[in-house]
Amino acid sequence: MATWKMFLLQDSASPLMEQLSFFHDHTLMILLMITVLVGYLMSSLFFNKYNYRYLLEGQTIEVIWTILPAVTLIFIALPSLRLLYLLDEINNPLVSMKSIGHQWYWSYEYTDFKNIEFDSYMIPTSELKMSNFRLLDVDNRAVLPYNSQIRLMITAADVLHSWTIPALSVKIDATPGRLNQISFLLNRTGLFFGQCSEICGANHSFMPIVIESISPPFFIKWVSKMSET
Ligand code: CUA
């Protein structure tokens, strides 16, 4: 989760988010190289004594400084496109979870099993325990197994919402009358926090998302416990 003074990405909890972090670092390195080169060239202009008054063109240098930026852009564009299409891939999901955005809470349905469904409300500040995170914890967490391909189907009941968990590289709109899907894989256990990121009304800030990532045997236990009630 995000903590104080963080200015880079959160630690990844899925393979795709890890790739996105690598891509972010790769792109920043290219940006740094360009900044240093251009900074050096511009500062060296201040100390230039010679003026080529009759120099009007230089074909060679113009070819070089046209092609070099184009090649640099390819080094960013190709990995970016690779990730874009990888993020859209649904690889044989083991579990499907449905999430519905409401004003202002999320509800979850696990229809692979005996129609498990529940609402997930933020815990109000007045009811917080010492172990809770203010504005981030919910009463019923979405439980999911780790190391399993998960398909998330998402829709909304009233207005636009957006189901967003940065550590999982999931950010998908919940749209009324439309079912969106995305897939991800949790590579460790733990709690993963997210928030709605589509301005959806007065309490937009107060509909957080919490994923509880547990081992598959415990997930099966949770499912059987939930379907009894
Ligand atoms: Cu739901 Cu913002």
Residue 194 beta carbon below 6 angstroms from any ligand 1 atom: no
Q: Is 100 in the pocket of ligand 1 (CB under 6 A)?
A: no
Instruction: Look up tokens 């696990």; give the residue.
Output: 110
pTM for this entry:
0.87
161 within ligand 1 shell (Cβ under 6 A): yes
- Residue 94, SS3 per DSSP: coil
Residue 202 CA, ligand 1 centroid: distance in Å? 9
Is residue 105 within 6 Å of ligand 1 at its C-beta? no
Q: Are 143 and 192 in contact (CB under 8 A)?
A: no
Query: Measured in angstroms, how far is the CA atom of residue 27 from the centroid of ligand 1?
Result: 31
Output the tens digit of pLDDT for each of the chain's 229 residues.
Answer: 888 999 999 999 999 999 999 999 999 999 999 999 999 999 998 988 777 778 888 999 999 999 999 999 999 999 999 999 999 999 899 999 999 999 999 999 998 888 899 999 999 999 999 999 999 999 999 999 999 999 999 999 999 999 999 999 999 999 999 999 999 999 999 999 999 999 999 999 999 999 999 999 999 999 999 888 6
- Per-residue 3-state assignment (H helix, E strand, C coil) for 11-61: CCCCHHHHHHHHHHHHHHHHHHHHHHHHHHHHHHHCCCCCCCCCCCCCHHH
CB of residue 198 inside a 6 A radius of ligand 1: yes
Alpha helix positions (H), 88-197: none
